[in-house]
Structure 1
């Protein structure tokens, strides 16, 4: 087995465990001005820990100002093809322009999970979803309001999870690392220390599985 067995669909045979596993690197880094350089750094870190990093292809054309539905369709198809090639989807779920993970990243994690891939993740933002909602939206002010009701008239999830339960439960079912920062770094989307810690934990998990396989 490439990693410990779990309720997650993803499975690997012993021969696969002995090869370089491919990690699809999902995350909002593709929107950075230096998206290509960031992708190169992440791929290099993957190699350092014995993995092949597959970085999404949308960063460069998007940041270059190209547009149109034809381009978006090509990006969509290319990224899905990369996920199909991968053994693991490793997602940066740091909240992006809001309370929760980048929606494209969330889709890619769910798509990989539905294909039977293992999924792992990290977030450079501490805290749970409910408290972030209270900080950004504010709690409802009337006296009989439920603790989960926000000022916008909508409830926030209250499961003590770092993000939406569908993401969190998918990750927990795979028994792979889910790292969350205790304090936010100075640069939420360029700090790779937690990404590297996740790679190290993945390498340790694969090494343990190989030891058991003999």
Structure 2
């Protein structure tokens, strides 16, 4: 489980095709290599992936993870290449501060950035999400975009908007996000369960 509070921005340094449609991704990050256990879960732009290797890479750490065919198909991971920057978050521990909201790292779909408005103190991003997911998105509710916990500002039938503060723009990939970019979307777990309860009544 994660909180949607990004702790590092990593960079894909290698992509290696494997059997059965699998890809092994090597991601450079700033986490100390000795602190990363094999089998640990790390959120890569919202996608929970398991560490299979960790080694020093110059003054950084290289973490290797495997992305399965379904992950590559259903998320933006299929578009990641050498040079792609990824929002990283390590799995939370019991007792950690829950600064964002509960995020599973299980992407529900991909949203497209359809408009960006840079304001004096923040940026407004408007995204179009798959129709089947929009029913879970509510004004003042939570979503995770590329692994970032965000509060929904406005909702229409097909789009929703979020306001991004300067700190988030500075320490995540949202600072360079542009119209047409695709982002991993995870809806709020509580919204998912509430909808399921209503369906089964």
What is the TM-score of this pair, normalised by structure 1? 0.27
**Greater Rg over alpha carbons, structure:** 1
User: Which has more strand, going by share of residues?
Assistant: 2
User: Which has more helix, going by share of residues?
Assistant: 1
